[in-house]
């Protein structure tokens, strides 16, 4: 299997058939072996009915249906687990991603990249609720991760399966996958892709998602750098607070000795005790985190989704 196309789908009944036809036309011209995996993420419209009808006519179109809505990251995780292609390309199912960009992504991969990330340079979305929060989020993610990309939120990307198959996804982590594999040595490129206005259905993204993305980013950064040594993270903070506690106490004693300033005349003694206790708590938190990490690695990982039905696997 050369190519796997992954389509996370949530209430896109009007878009699925047209998207399928566009993908089939593009892949037919490429003359490569492929599979299309549609993940029904708990849709409550007729999306899964449309998916089943297509799957009954096309053995290369595979379907996975969740028992409820688990989110886009879980849908992508399922697609990765069930895919067999050497190259994996996820796409949004709202027709805003253009299947005509698939050959261009493959050409970019052939230049020596492990991952090619789409950049919706001329994005067809609302300015205040979509574009501006996205610009800010992309800048922040690029700053924290060290990987400069213009559009982390674009679902249309191309991955070599060898760099993504072992990635564990959770939260909103699907947008951080390029940074995650970059931290592990993958070569990441970027390509301007076509972005079309939404015609049918409603967007599933709102302004509130930007705040969740930032929290997930901090989680990913922590787990990537300190997942096997959390004591270093909490311990350094604890040492810093204990050192500040020592300086605060030293200053309070010095004021008492040299200028006869009473301890109760300044907040320094209280600050000393506070910093000491908080620093000690951080060190103990590091110890607890070490214990939890060992439990995590001793037990097999549990899936973040539940499958109800599979077709053509």
Beta bridge partners of 195: 97
Judgement on whether residues 120 and 247 belong to the same structural domain of the protein? no
Asked if the model's pLDDT at residue 117 lies above 90, the reply is yes
Domain assignment present for 307: no
Judgement on whether residues 152 and 219 belong to the same structural domain of the protein? yes
Asked if the model's pLDDT at residue 166 lies above 60, the reply is yes
Cβ neighbours, 10 Å, residue 38: 30
The mean pLDDT of 49-62, rounded to a whole number, is 95
Domain assignment present for 285: yes
Domain assignment present for 309: no
The answer to whether the beta carbons of residues 276 and 244 sit under 8 Å apart is no
Judgement on whether residues 265 and 138 belong to the same structural domain of the protein? no
Cβ burial 249-262 (10 Å sphere, 16+ → b, else e): beebeebbeeeeee
Please give the Cα distance from 216 to 117 (Å, whole number).
20
Asked if the model's pLDDT at residue 2 lies above 80, the reply is yes
The mean pLDDT of 189-195, rounded to a whole number, is 93
Q: Does 245 or 219 have the greater pLDDT score?
A: 245
Of 7-16, 59-68, 153-162, 177-186, give the lowest mean pLDDT range: 177-186
Domain assignment present for 267: yes
pLDDT of residue 33: 93
CATH number reported for the structural domain that contains residue 33 in this entry: 3.90.550.10
pLDDT digits (tens, 9 = 90+) for 202-230: 765 655 566 677 777 777 777 667 777 88
pLDDT digits (tens, 9 = 90+) for 22-43: 999 999 999 899 999 999 999 9
Please give the Cα distance from 138 to 82 (Å, whole number).
29
pLDDT of residue 163: 92
Judgement on whether residues 180 and 273 belong to the same structural domain of the protein? no
Please give the Cα distance from 304 to 231 (Å, whole number).
27
pLDDT of residue 280: 94
Asked if the model's pLDDT at residue 77 lies above 70, the reply is yes
Please give the Cα distance from 250 to 268 (Å, whole number).
9
Judgement on whether residues 96 and 214 belong to the same structural domain of the protein? yes
Strands (E), the chain: 3-9, 34-40, 61-66, 87-90, 115-119, 157-160, 188-192, 307-311
pLDDT of residue 145: 81
Domain assignment present for 303: no
pLDDT of residue 48: 94
Judgement on whether residues 166 and 61 belong to the same structural domain of the protein? yes
pLDDT of residue 129: 59
Under the banding of pLDDT at 50, 70 and 90, the label for residue 152 is: confident
Q: What's the number of domains the chain is made of?
A: 2
Judgement on whether residues 36 and 101 belong to the same structural domain of the protein? yes
Please give the Cα distance from 44 to 42 (Å, whole number).
6
Integer Rg of the chain from CA: 25
Cβ neighbours, 10 Å, residue 149: 22
Domain assignment present for 20: yes
Domain assignment present for 300: no
Judgement on whether residues 259 and 219 belong to the same structural domain of the protein? no
| Domain span at 83 | 3-225
Judgement on whether residues 120 and 242 belong to the same structural domain of the protein? no
Domain assignment present for 301: no
Judgement on whether residues 74 and 182 belong to the same structural domain of the protein? yes
Judgement on whether residues 91 and 26 belong to the same structural domain of the protein? yes
Q: Is this structure's pTM higher than 0.85?
A: no
């Amino acid at each position: 299997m050369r190519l796997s196309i992954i389509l996370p789908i949530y209430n896109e009944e009007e878009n699925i058939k047209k998207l399928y036809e566009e993908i089939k036309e593009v892949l037919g011209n490429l003359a490569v072996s492929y599979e299309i995996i549609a993940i029904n993420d708990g849709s409550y419209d007729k999306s899964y009915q449309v998916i089943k009808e297509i799957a009954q006519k096309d053995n290369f179109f595979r379907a996975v249906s969740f028992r409820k809505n688990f989110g886009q990251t879980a849908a992508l995780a399922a697609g990765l687990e069930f895919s067999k292609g050497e190259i994996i390309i996820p796409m949004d199912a709202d027709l805003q991603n253009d299947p005509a960009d698939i050959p261009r992504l493959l050409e970019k991969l052939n230049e020596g990249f492990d991952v090619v990330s789409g950049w919706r340079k001329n994005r067809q979305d609302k300015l205040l609720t979509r574009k501006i929060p996205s610009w800010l989020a992309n800048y922040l993610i690029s700053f924290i991760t060290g990987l400069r990309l213009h559009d982390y939120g674009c679902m249309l990307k191309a991955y070599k399966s060898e760099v993504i198959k072992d990635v564990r996804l959770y939260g909103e982590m699907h947008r951080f996958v390029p940074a995650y594999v970059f931290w592990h040595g993958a070569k990441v490129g970027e390509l301007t892709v076509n972005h079309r206005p939404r015609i049918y259905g409603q967007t599933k993204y709102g302004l509130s998602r930007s705040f969740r993305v930032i929290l997930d980013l901090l989680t990913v950064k922590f787990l990537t750098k300190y997942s096997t040594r959390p004591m270093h993270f909490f311990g350094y903070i604890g040492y810093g607070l204990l050192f500040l506690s020592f300086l605060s106490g030293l200053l309070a004693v010095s004021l008492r000795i040299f200028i006869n300033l009473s301890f109760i005349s300044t907040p320094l003694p209280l600050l000393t005790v506070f910093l000491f206790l908080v620093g000690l708590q951080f060190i103990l938190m590091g110890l607890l985190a070490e214990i939890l990490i060992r439990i995590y690695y001793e037990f097999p990982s549990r899936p973040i989704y539940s499958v109800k039905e599979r077709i053509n696997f």
